[in-house]
A and B are shown apart, each in its own frame.
Chain A
Amino acid sequence: MSMSRRTVVGLATSSALLGALAGCGGSGAAGEGETLTVYSAQHESLVRTMLEGFTEGTGIELEFRDANDSELANQIVQEGEASPADVFLTENSPAIDVVDDAGLLAPLDEATLEQVDEAFRPASGDWVGFAARSTALIYNPAEIAEDELPASMLDLADPAWEGRVAIAAGGADFQAIVSAVLALEGEDATREWLTGLARNAEIYSSNTAIMKAVDEGEVPVGITYHYYWFRDQAQDGLVGDDAELHYFRNQDPGAFVSVSGAGVLASSDQKDDAQRLVEWLTGPEAQERLAGSSALEYAVGVGVASADALPPLADLQAPAVDPGSLDAPLVTELMQEAGLL
């Protein structure tokens, strides 16, 4: 102890000094001047790429709180009127529906809405899609032949798939896919499907982890979104070089296209700036950036073509699902009931 007395006292003194520093760092709750607080559940790199040039062009500084879809959505609902958030960006639409259903979104400018194809925005007009992704089945051809793959995603609940399918049950992506099953097939069928999956599925923490597990033959197939595999291919298949992607097509729930939403909080005291951000995000420049980036999600701007590497969205025969109608709370309840959460 006596040996360390000097170091220890030194540490304590510097504690006091640095303590003052920590007090002023990092508190962004107060909406001072021209800084927008953006709650974002979309991939950090994608959002930053799309918003490149926004601050230079408009003088509006941005501060991000990055977290998971449902976490942020429920957080905004809890925060209510006092929410520090000005703009909410989600990875999937169920989360932004939660906030919309709570009446916390301000209507978007008509001009902003019209920048995006009708299929990628809700009837309410309170939020708008800014990117889209397709559900897909990732599989390992060494473990399972393509013709042995199920015709529908719902078949994965059959006993034959026990221990053979990977899902990321805790993630917002999988929960969005469940919300599509719920919207298309109804509550009872969804409950049955989840019960089967609870028995069959190997649970992973993320889609990347699923891709890796399938690639390494730990599990033959996994439910995921398309872009994880495409991104990996673009990097020469570092993680998923032995895995292939299968689309269910035929308006199957497994062909669901999920929309990333952007909305302005009604409680924001900088609504004009917030509207400008959403306008920017859905505008041609940001959409082109998305299409040209390594994100490999689908662009949704009117007249903007997505990345060449991707199969055209129209060919994927997605089922018609109103992105404004997805029921996240019921999905959570059903997944809890099935023991997946």
Chain B
Amino acid sequence: MALALAVGVAALALLPLGYIAWYTADLGWEGVRELVLRPRVGELLWNTTRLVLGTVIGCAVLGVGAAWLVERSSVPARRVWHVLLVAPLAVPAFVNSYAWISLLPGLDTYAGALLVVTLSYFPFVYLPVAAAFRGLDPALEETARGLGLSSWAVFRRVQLPQLRVALLGGGLLVALHLLAEFGALQMLRYPTFTTAIYDQYRATFNGPGATMLAGVLVLLCLGLLLAEIRLRGRRGYARTARGAARPVRPVDLRGLTAPALLALATLVGLALVVPLASLGYWMTGGRSAAVDWAALSTTTGTTLALAAAAAAVTTAMALPTGWLAVRARGRISTLLERSTYLGSSVPGIVVALALVTLSIRATPWLYQTVPVLLAAYAILFLPRAVVTVRSAVEQFPPLYDDVAASLGSSAPDRLRRVTVPLLAPGIGAGAALVFLAVVTELTATLLLAPTGTTTLATAFWSASSALDYGSAAPYAVVMVLLSAPATVLLSRDARRGLTP
């Protein structure tokens, strides 16, 4: 039963990939060549590649630097900095982009795009690296130092290799988000595959041009996933010695304290204070008309309802997969679990494009309805729920269930009195993560929202693309406010990833 459900979920997750593959095969080599081997695709490839490389490097430098300062140095107010460095995650990248471009219109260059997306995404590296720093056994570093290595050499030769998994994971997350990023880059006039697919979609709906660009984009994502697996290697980094690791003695910054504080303040200023100040400016000082409270509250209600429904559906779908991954370990359950990860690495624009076409052709009665939009959200955000459900199941030994059974409890009774209460926190956490992701989802919603349905993200988008910055601001503020609690949760327990 659980297996059949998990297979169904995996099939749904892989639907967009399957559609692109089928479409490409159907189009034939001639068609593919005409649409893919053209100068425009080369330009997009160059644009996309240099932005991904630049951003990953920028995020790695900022993320590792900030994590080292917060976790390993004597910089004052480390806890406060930690929260402030995670906080930019509460500002969606397209809101950050709007905040910058509305103040500095000249940012529509490569450097501008690099700046804005790096500031949006560096916490993806900072979070896992900070957690990894916390997990490092200081004994290794002390040994290295005892053998005469300088602080810098210790960092380079002892710490950095141990951070590799966290760094690569964070870098991958940044790269995948960037490949899927639409709003931020469209607003900065920086064309990448995702923005070009959207332009094609606007010109031709689901025409072959759009679908083939989507095919190239999917290949890029898959290439990244493979590269990350190869780079990660098979070396183990766990501490194998007996006894507990000693607490770390922070590196005394001495005279460098002031520059370190300045660096952290600059980073937080650019990544957090600038977008919030810009929002504040457009909310109050901008030349917008008064806030349309009726529209704002309707839109907020719609968004919350959609996000709640998506959270419920996605978490329910994650249950069989997460359960099997723990209770029926083996090739098949691993394959099913990985399928959901693979499916969600496909950018939102591609998922939406596939679902638009499939729903028109195969299930016209579902076309332009909420279920199709929910399916897209599920495909995009399943891993968030799978990971949390899975870890909840891990922590719940089958023994409890057995004991309850031996005491005469029936199967439905055990489900109600033992299994569900024990899994509830995990399920709830997964649902919350999905909920928050949906609240700020833009790309798939733009393509799939039923007629007459407006969400915070799409309302923000239509106002800001008309350069009506004042009217866009209230929607952005609500999105930031709704995302803030998740950010607090994340900063509290940095060891939990955002996505796998």
Taking Cβ atoms with an 8 Å cutoff, the residues of A that contact B are: 1-5, 7-9, 11-12, 14-19, 21-23, 25-29, 37, 63-68, 70-71, 73-75, 77-79, 82, 84, 169-172, 175, 203-206, 208-209, 212-213, 216, 218, 238-239, 332, 335-337, 339-341
Q: Residues of B contacting A175 with CB < 8 Å? A: 203
Knowing A23-B370, A28-B451, A28-B452 are in contact, say whether A1-B425 is a contact too (CB < 8 A). yes
Q: Which residues of B contact A84 (CB under 8 A)?
A: 367-368, 451
Considering the chains assembled together, what is the distance between the CA atoms of A46 and B131 in angstroms?
A: 54
Would you list 29 pairs from A and B whose C-beta atoms are within 8 A, ordered by A residue? A1-B496, A4-B492, A7-B432, A8-B425, A8-B428, A12-B428, A15-B431, A18-B305, A23-B309, A27-B450, A28-B451, A29-B368, A29-B369, A64-B451, A71-B202, A71-B205, A74-B204, A74-B206, A77-B205, A78-B205, A79-B367, A82-B360, A171-B202, A212-B467, A213-B105, A335-B203, A336-B35, A339-B39, A341-B40
When the two chains form their complex, are residues A28 and B431 in contact, meaning their CB atoms are under 8 A apart?
A: no
Contact of B302 among A23, A26, A73 (CB under 8 A): A26
Q: Is B393 an interface residue (CB 8 A)?
A: no
Q: Is the CB of A4 within 8 A of B207?
A: no
User: Is B287 interfacial (CB 8 A cutoff)?
Assistant: yes
Please give, as numbers and ranges, the residues of chain B lying within 8 Å of A27 by CB-CB distance. 368-370, 450
The 8 Å CB contact of A74, one of B199, B205, B462, B492, is B205
Which chain A residues lie closer than 8 Å to B198 at the CB level?
170
Question: Which chain B residues border A15 with CB–CB below 8 Å?
Answer: 308-309, 311-312, 315, 431, 435
A2, A19, A82, A335: most-surrounded residue (chain B CB, <10 A)? A19
In angstroms, Cα B200 to Cα A175, docked, is 12
Q: Is the CB of A22 within 8 A of B370?
A: yes
Q: CB-CB < 8 A to B489: which residues of A?
A: 4
CB <8 Å contact, B308 and A19: yes
List chain B positions with a Cβ less than 8 A from chain A. Answer: 35, 38-40, 43, 105-106, 186-187, 189, 191, 196, 198-207, 209, 287, 302, 304-306, 308-309, 311-313, 315, 357, 360, 364, 367-370, 374, 424-425, 427-429, 431-432, 435, 449-453, 462, 465-467, 485, 489, 492-493, 496
B466 touches A22 (CB 8 A): no
Q: Is the CB of A218 within 8 A of B43?
A: no
Nearest-Cβ distance from residue B497 to partner chain A, whole angstroms: 14
Q: Which residues of the other chain, B, contact A75 by a CB distance below 8 angstroms?
A: 205
Q: Which of B304, B309, B492, B496 has most chain A Cβ within 10 Å?
A: B309
Q: Is the interface of A mostly helix, strand, loop or mixed?
A: helix
Question: Besides A25-B302, A27-B368, 8 other CB < 8 A contacts?
Answer: A9-B424, A12-B427, A19-B313, A22-B302, A22-B308, A23-B309, A175-B203, A203-B189
| Other-chain residue from B308, B312, B451 in contact with A29 (beta carbon distance below 8 A) | B451
Chain A residues lying within 8 Å of B493, measured Cβ to Cβ, are 1
How distant is B489 from chain A, measured CB to nearest CB, in Å? 6
B367 proximity list for chain A (CB < 8 A): 29, 79, 82, 84
Contact pick for B207, options A74, A79, A171, CB 8 Å: A74
Do A203 and B191 have beta carbons less than 8 Å apart?
yes
Tell me, in angstroms, the Cα distance from A172 to B203 when the chains sit together. Answer: 7
Are A65 and B452 interface neighbours, CB within 8 A? yes
Asked if A63 contacts B186 (CB within 8 A), the reply is no
Least Cβ–Cβ distance between B199 and chain A, in angstroms: 4
CB distance from B322 to the nearest CB of A (A): 15
Q: Is the CB of B429 within 8 A of A8?
A: yes
Q: Which residues of B contact A1 (CB under 8 A)?
A: 425, 429, 493, 496
B190 to chain A, nearest CB (A): 10
Report yes or no: B311 in contact with A12, Cβ–Cβ below 8 A: yes
